[in-house]
Amino acid sequence: QESCGLIIVWFHAEEEEPSWMIEYPAEVVSGRMRQMARYEKICSGHIQDIAQKVADGAHMNSLHAATCLLSLPEFASRPRDSWLCRLMQLKWDTKFAVTGKEAHMSWFIQMSLLGWKPEFAQCRGIVKQLGPALTITSVQNIFGEFIAVVSATPEAPFQTRLVHRCYGRPGLLSWLWCQVAERGISNMSDRDIAVWNRKIFKTPVLVDEDKSIEEFREWYTQFYSKNSPTWKEVKEKSLSW
């Protein structure tokens, strides 16, 4: 299946025929939205941990309350004291649900500009996890709408390539909005990657607020089967990925 600059390949350990297909955004497939930005990142996380972000609403106000304009080095050194953080803060409200082969988080952001909370600084959207490795984010605000398509491709054990593609409607305002939004998403992704690269707990303790993560993990098990190869099995049979 080919769309959005991607070739999606079906793999089943028991060699079963494809039982479902990915539905791509109609605006992108029809050409009403065009690609405005693209970038790639490499992270050391497991592909399931990367997808699990869609269910982790609690981390949004913990890791991403600081302005999305803050780069990772600035965030790591002084996330609360920089002038950018004093200029802008983010408040997230999220809701998680699963349906069939799709897990999704709807969210609302209120940006605070020097304590002022104007209506034009509000954003709402939805993040959809389609299958085990494709994420589609739709964002809307007063300046317009854009769609981000993120693919996760395992390249080696615990090494995953993330490719971000941002789509918007033709026009200067849409292009500017996409560039600003994509920079914010890129900075927030860097924070997530820093966490994934340092994850050490095999079974971290989950509190009551993390029930959505348990629900997500149960949902994700449908993408494994009885004969799905494990990293240990692959390592024992071959010297190459």
- The per-residue pLDDT string of the chain (241 residues; one tens digit each, 9 = 90 and over) reads 777 788 888 888 888 888 888 888 899 989 899 998 888 888 887 888 889 888 888 888 777 877 777 777 777 776 666 767 777 788 889 999 998 889 999 999 888 888 788 888 888 999 999 999 999 999 888 888 889 999 999 888 788 999 999 899 888 888 888 888 888 888 888 888 888 777 665 666 666 667 898 899 999 999 988 888 777 777 776 655 5
pLDDT of residue 114: 81
- Cβ-proximal residues to 5 (8 Å cutoff; 6+ apart), any chain: 35, 38, 149, 165
pLDDT of residue 21: 86
Of 65, 132, 81, 135, the residue nearest 105 (C-alpha): 135
Per DSSP, 71 falls in state -
Of 149, 212, 211, 148, the residue nearest 177 (C-alpha): 148
pLDDT of residue 207: 63
Q: Which residue intervals of the chain are DSSP H helices?
A: 26-29, 47-51, 58-63, 72-77, 83-87, 172-196, 211-220, 231-237
d(CA 58, CA 203) in angstroms, rounded, equals 18
C-beta separation of 131 from 223 below 8 A: yes
